[in-house]
Structure 1
Amino acid sequence: MFIFGVRPTQQPKFDYFGIALEGVTGPRTIQVCPLPAENCPAVFFLRGFNGNGDTFDQAYVFVSGSVTISHMGAERVRGSFQGTAIFISGAGQPDFSRTITVTNGQFDVPVRDDLDLDD
């Protein structure tokens, strides 16, 4: 399952928030892994993403924390997230001296089976 949100900024760029969850089929809490791993959620946001998937102005990737799915229905998924994220430069280099902490992050999104962002 992939949970994401998009906020338009300066055309053609936008800000992008994502949570990637593998193997989640119902409510539960999952710990964020410090490195991408199978069956471990990835939480990230990109500022100034160009939409082609190859450049962004800046990004933050969570290296600790958790994602809680509180409701998973046929039409909506709800939950929360919290943790610490590190800065990733536009060149893809991590900067462990630049971190942010997120508490009480929430999502409530419709379930879709396609990725058509025009709707």
Structure 2
Amino acid sequence: MTLNDRMFPALSFLVFVHDPVVAEDIASTLEESHPGARIVLPANEAAALAALDEHPQITLAVMSMSPEAAQASALGSALAARQARVVLMGFEAEERGESAGFTVLHRPFRTADLLAMLANPAR
């Protein structure tokens, strides 16, 4: 790691989405809109936690998770400790995520919706 890497770390994204097609779609959009970004697609929560050890500067995490799980899980706690922006997806997230203070990516979403959400640093 160079001094420049420490001073200006590349953006890092964690995409922990249960549907592999949706996860790949989100990862592709992130890769196209942020060339050079690190994108991690863990298979499960344990792999996501391990990825945080390798990539401690996660900028944004997109996760299929209820707001309650995001607040109570080890993964949610680790992301909060790193001050990563967390975006939730899924039925419970759509019902209760915004009232719990999370950004929610509502389904069905288009690439333009994902890019607009990324451009809005509200949460």
Q: TM-score range by the shorter chain?
A: under 0.3
Higher helix proportion (structure 1 or 2): 2
Higher strand proportion (structure 1 or 2): 1
Give the TM-score of the pair, scaled to structure 1: 0.25
Relative contact order (alpha carbons < 8 A, sep ≥ 6): 1 or 2 greater?
2
* Greater C-alpha radius of gyration: 1
